[in-house]
Amino acid sequence: MTALDTPPPLEPSPAAPMPGLDDPPRPPRGVLQLIGQMLAILGTVLLCFVVQLSLVGTAQHDRDQSTAYDDFRRELANGTAPVGALVDGRLLDSGTSVAILEIPRIGVREVVAEGTSARTLKSGPGHLRNTPMPGQAGTSVIYGRRATYGGPFALLDKLRSGDEIIVTTGQGESRYVVQGVRRANDKERPALQSGQGRLTLVTADGSYYVPSDILRVDARLSSEAFDGNRRLPAFAVPDDEKAMVGDASALTPLALWILVLAAAAVAVVLIRHRLGRWHAWVIGAPVLGVVGLTLADATAGLLPNLM
């Protein structure tokens, strides 16, 4: 065999890559588990928020109304119910019961409290401080929620001209006749003559949980007007009692409950790693539920007071 017949040397074949060597690095399993646990806790908190606004908030409203109704009926019987925005020269405390509002057409019977802050309206409708008490001459204004915490004014837009509204205060029973529903940009009602009375019910308008404006129902006083006390000026109404405003004082408890939630979440994760999934949820679910509902209630205080 000659040199020309000698086969060329074989090229060494490249080594086969090790399986997974060129794959992008994957997060450690512990990190994925932690992310999953945090998402589960976040989902629990969001569920608590929905439950608070729909179910628990309604139960709170009903409980507060039951207590307020019994107490106010007792005050009416004893002649101690307030009949003005001032008592002994000072403003009525927020949440003080001042009237019972009945709207037969939509099945409403609510105790009306003094003040219109988001906190006060969680328990039921509220009387705007700088307007006359219901039954007195002038325009009395009552705010109420549309969707959350019982939504006592959810069906206001169903009222029609001629429907009756009955209001009971410390001065007696007054009757109103609905004049109609007003929305944004609708014409104002004509000014009242001396001695005439009107009741304006106010709530949110638009989507239930994303309100876009304000809805009003006006009703004229058909019974005799009661004498009124000195009225308060417009600046007597605090900013947090104006329409579609939240309660800024809820920020402090909200921040505290966020810290409590963070601590509870860390505790649940530690229990999960040390004792297992079952123990973590048996111990953590009730704790997270209570903290989540309380946090949701504090958060709801920041929402518009008419929602």
Predicted pLDDT of residue 209: 84
Predicted pLDDT of residue 5: 60
Predicted pLDDT of residue 269: 80
50 pLDDT tier (thresholds 50, 70, 90): confident
Specify the higher pLDDT residue, 77 or 247. Answer: 77
Q: Which residues contact 152 (CB under 8 A, 6 or more apart)?
A: 61, 108, 110, 124, 125, 144, 145
Is 26 a member of any domain?
no
Instruction: Tell me the average pLDDT of the chain.
Output: 87
Count of CB atoms within 10 A of residue 210's CB? 9
The CATH number covering residue 208 comes to 2.40.260.10
Among 204, 219, 241, the domain-final residue is: 241
Domain containing 219 equals 68-241
Is 5 a member of any domain?
no
How many domains are contained in the chain? 2
Is residue 231 located within the same domain as residue 260?
A: no
Q: Which residues contact 183 (CB under 8 A, 6 or more apart)?
A: 205, 213, 214, 215, 216
Predicted pLDDT of residue 148: 94
Is 150 a member of any domain?
yes
4 pLDDT tier (thresholds 50, 70, 90): low
Count of CB atoms within 10 A of residue 192's CB? 15
Predicted pLDDT of residue 307: 93
Amino acid letter for position 73: R
Predicted pLDDT of residue 171: 96
CB of 169 within 8 A of CB of 127?
no
pLDDT tens string 89-113: 788 999 999 999 999 999 999 999 9
Is residue 125 located within the same domain as residue 265?
A: no
Average pLDDT over residues 145-163: 96
Predicted pLDDT of residue 289: 85
Is residue 91 located within the same domain as residue 202?
A: yes
Is residue 82 located within the same domain as residue 45?
A: no
Count of CB atoms within 10 A of residue 194's CB? 7
Is 6 a member of any domain?
no
Of 19-28, 123-132, 236-245, the poorest mean pLDDT is in 19-28
Is residue 88 located within the same domain as residue 187?
A: yes
**In terms of residues, how long is the chain?**
307
Is residue 267 located within the same domain as residue 155?
A: no
CB of 189 within 8 A of CB of 146?
no
The candidate with the shortest Cα–Cα distance to 117, out of 207, 233, 244, is: 244
Is residue 46 located within the same domain as residue 185?
A: no
Is residue 276 located within the same domain as residue 255?
A: yes
Specify the higher pLDDT residue, 88 or 120. Answer: 120
Residue 276 scores a pLDDT above 90: no
Is 97 a member of any domain?
yes
Secondary structure of the chain in the HEC alphabet? CCHHHCCCCCCCCCCCCCCCCCCCCCCCHHHHHHHHHHHHHHHHHHHHHHHHHHHHHHHHHHHHHHHHHHHHHHHHHHCCCCCCCEECCEECCCCCEEEEEEEHHHCEEEEEEECCCHHHHCCCCEECCCCCCCCECEEEEEECCCCCCCCCCCCHHHCCCCCEEEEEECCEEEEEEEEEEECCCCCCCCCCCCCCEEEEEEEEEECCCCEEEEEEEEEEECCCCECCCCCCCHHHCCHHHCCCCCCHHHHHHHHHHHHHHHHHHHHHHHHHHHHCHHHHHHHHHHHHHHHHHHHHHHHHCCCCCCC
Amino acid letter for position 20: G
Is residue 150 located within the same domain as residue 44?
A: no
CB of 44 within 8 A of CB of 276?
no
Is residue 255 located within the same domain as residue 114?
A: no
291 pLDDT tier (thresholds 50, 70, 90): confident
**What is the percentage of the chain residues whose pLDDT exceeds 70?**
89
138 pLDDT tier (thresholds 50, 70, 90): very high
Among 213, 241, 269, the domain-final residue is: 241
Among 241, 268, 289, the domain-final residue is: 241
pLDDT tens string 180-218: 999 988 999 999 998 999 999 999 999 888 898 999 999
Residue 10 scores a pLDDT above 60: no
Is residue 43 located within the same domain as residue 115?
A: no
Is 63 a member of any domain?
no
CB of 267 within 8 A of CB of 258?
no
Separation CA 270–CA 293 (nearest Å): 22
Count of CB atoms within 10 A of residue 62's CB? 14
Is 19 a member of any domain?
no
Of 28-37, 204-213, 258-267, 286-295, the poorest mean pLDDT is in 28-37
Is 157 a member of any domain?
yes
Is residue 91 located within the same domain as residue 146?
A: yes
248 pLDDT tier (thresholds 50, 70, 90): confident
Cα-Cα-Cα-Cα dihedral sign, residues 296, 204, 100, 236: positive
Predicted pLDDT of residue 265: 83
